[in-house]
Amino acid sequence: MNSRRFLLLSGAALSSFAAVPAWAKRKKAAAKSAASGDEGGPGTATAAVSTPADTPVGPVDTVASHAIVIDFNTNAVLLTKDADTPSPPSSLTKLMTIYITFTQLKAGKLTLGQTFTISEHAWHMGGSRMFLQVGTQVTIEDLIRGVFVDSGNDAAVALAEGIAGSEDAFVAMMNAEAKKLGMNDSHFMDASGWPADGHVMSVRDIATLATHIIRDFPDYYHYAGEQTFTYNKITQQNRNPLVAAGLGDGLKTGHTEEGGYSEAGSTERNGRRIIVVLNGLPTWDSRVTESKRLMDWAFNTFQDVPVFAAGQIVSQAPVWLGQVPTVGLTVQGGLTVTLPNNWRDGVKIAVDYPAPIPAPVISGHKVGQISLSGTGIPPGQIITTDLVAAGDVPRLGLPGRAMARLKHFITGA
């Protein structure tokens, strides 16, 4: 009785739609502070070799060894390069420390004005610091600023100890949260990003974490974009060069000898937000230029396309044995996708559903799907979303069903 109703539309046709303490071990490595989370400034030049990254519009070169660019509004992946390979994340680790802190604040388990006592372990941290003093009481709000603006290893450890009782207990929380968020290519050994065997993150996982920080904690995200922070009469500028230059509103940077320079940056322009995560950059300068270049490329090459508005009827589907002959089909919440600027030239939109749809039909229930393919969609991928009924269609009573079957037997309709 049923067949599939399959409509294939071009983008142009749709254009009208819209044990030994850890710190003691670290002390032995204090001489390596410049290679253990200290962001520093423009460093020694290293030969930069650009190699291709994958994008929906063809290869784009970057000197980063690991890279991902994401459209925040649609979660569309615009560029990837070795994005799932675990590598040393240096101070980008602190994003998980911040994520857990924000989670506790949102749940009411902490307050911004609450204070933590600074331990010898936190005070002993090398690398980039907030310059905390042993035994002092510091507010959680100041420690958050110390992490974001100063990239303070001491601030990260102070938050970890204050929340979990010890850094080791906090690390267990970090790894548990990573699993909850689907960060399958990350493993934490400390709260600051200090180099340690087995301490790794992939840039895709970092982008996932950055997305959650921005989306889940709008009341706290502004700390990531503060230009300067003064603590104990010491003023430091935000170590994220995109923030310092007014080109981004967060999130973090990092650097170690093993991992190179890294950036997790985000900014919003005209209602669109882009997240860029880079790791393994050869120099401080390349971190600045690559972050800005790839962010500009993402904004200039792609657009968010409202293919269907919320509540818009995509198609009228016939209903079998229903009290009315048809039902409207729609995309619940609408459908907006990120596509190249020339998307109308190559994108195909397919609408697939059974025809007729058997009654009863329940509003909001899935009855088919819409898929997008072609130019601008990542190779080998198809974007799909559910097609749902826009209204209820009750089933005919017994006499009506009998008459409908008789009519179909006689006329085939």
pLDDT band at 38 (very low <50, low <70, confident <90, very high): very low
Q: Which of 65, 91, 186, 262 is catalytic?
A: 91
Average pLDDT over all residues of the chain: 87
Do residues 18 and 41 touch, judged by C-beta distance below 8 A?
A: no
Asked whether residue 106 is marked as a ligand-binding residue, the answer is: no
Do residues 249 and 266 touch, judged by C-beta distance below 8 A?
A: yes
pLDDT band at 32 (very low <50, low <70, confident <90, very high): very low
In 328-383, alpha helices (H): none
Distance, C-alpha 407 to centroid of its chain = 55
Say which residue, 156 or 47, is predicted with more confidence.
Answer: 156
Q: Which tens digits make up the pLDDT trace of 110-154? A: 999 999 999 999 999 999 999 999 999 999 999 999 999 999 999
pLDDT at 143: 98
Q: Which tens digits make up the pLDDT trace of 353-392? A: 988 999 899 999 999 999 888 877 776 667 888 999 999 9
In the residue annotation, 151 being an active-site residue is answered as yes
Do residues 364 and 388 touch, judged by C-beta distance below 8 A?
A: yes
Do residues 356 and 392 touch, judged by C-beta distance below 8 A?
A: no
Dist. CA 179–CA 379, nearest whole Å = 28
Do residues 321 and 404 touch, judged by C-beta distance below 8 A?
A: yes
Say which residue, 44 or 105, is predicted with more confidence.
Answer: 105
In the residue annotation, 91 being an active-site residue is answered as yes
Q: Which of 94, 119, 128, 315 is catalytic?
A: 94
pTM of the model: 0.84
pLDDT at 411: 60
Do residues 253 and 240 touch, judged by C-beta distance below 8 A?
A: yes
Residues 6+ apart with CB under 8 A from 288: 241, 242, 245
Instruction: Point out which residues pair with 389 in neighbouring strands.
Output: 329
The Cα angle at residue 102 between residues 99 and 107, in degrees rounded to 5:
125
Q: Which tens digits make up the pLDDT trace of 225-269? A: 999 999 999 999 999 989 988 899 999 999 998 899 999 999 999
pLDDT at 20: 41
| Helices 153-164, 167-180: inter-axial angle, 10-degree rounding | 90
Q: Which of 33, 151, 186, 291 is catalytic?
A: 151
Instruction: Kindly list the structural domains of the chain, giving each domain's residue range(s) and its CATH number in brackets, ordered by start.
Output: 3-16+309-411 (2.60.410.10), 32-300 (3.40.710.10)
Q: Which tens digits make up the pLDDT trace of 78-119? A: 999 999 999 999 999 999 999 999 999 999 999 999 999 999
Asked whether residue 164 carries a pLDDT value surpassing 60, the answer given is yes
Asked whether residue 25 carries a pLDDT value surpassing 90, the answer given is no
pLDDT at 245: 87
pLDDT at 8: 53
pLDDT at 37: 56
Instruction: Point out which residues pair with 319 in neighbouring strands.
Output: 357
pLDDT band at 44 (very low <50, low <70, confident <90, very high): very low
